Amino acid sequence: SIQDKNALHLYSVNGKYLGSETLKEEVSDMCVTGEYIVMGSLQGFLSIRDLYSLSLTISPLAMRLPIHCISVTKEYSHILVGLEDGKLIIIGVGKPAEV
C-alpha cells in the first residue's frame, strides 16, 4: 500500500516481475490454492483471482464486515472466512450439485 493505493504484484520463483493488478480494497488475508488466490479485505469483500493473470474469476462476494482470516480446505471444497465479529462463514466451492 503506497499513498492509499493497493496493488497485487506477481513474481516468478526466480524473481522476474510478471505483472500487477491495482486493488480497490485493503487486503487483510490471502491464501494461494492451486491456480487461484483467495483474498479477503478490510472492506468486507472476498475475491478469487487467477494466479497467473491476477484477474477476478468471479465478482467479489460482500461479507458486510471486515474479513480477518481465510482458509481453504485441503480438498478445495470449502472456503472458511473469519469475520471481525467472530462469525465463521463457510462457502462451498463448485457447482451447486457438488456442494
Q: Across all residues in the chain, what is the average pLDDT? A: 91
Instruction: Please give the model's pTM, rounded to 2 decimal places.
Output: 0.85
Residue 58 lies in a domain: yes
Q: Give the mean model confidence (pLDDT) for residues 67-94.
A: 94
Residue 40 lies in a domain: yes
Residue 99 lies in a domain: no
Domain span holding position 44:
2-92
Contact in structure between 42 and 66 (CB atoms under 8 Å): yes
Residue 98 lies in a domain: no
Contact in structure between 78 and 90 (CB atoms under 8 Å): yes
Going 90 to 95 to 49 to 60, the CA torsion angle's sign is: negative
* Whole-number pLDDT of residue 1: 45
**Span 28-63, pLDDT tens digits:** 999 999 899 999 999 999 999 999 999 999 999 999
What single-letter DSSP state applies at residue 59? P
Q: Report the C-alpha gap between 83 and 80 in whole angstroms.
A: 10
Residue 97 lies in a domain: no
Q: Both ends of the chain: CA-CA distance in Å?
A: 36
Count of the separate structural domains present in the chain: 1
Confidence at 93, pLDDT banded by 50, 70, 90: confident
Residue 24 lies in a domain: yes
CATH at residue 84: 2.40.10.360
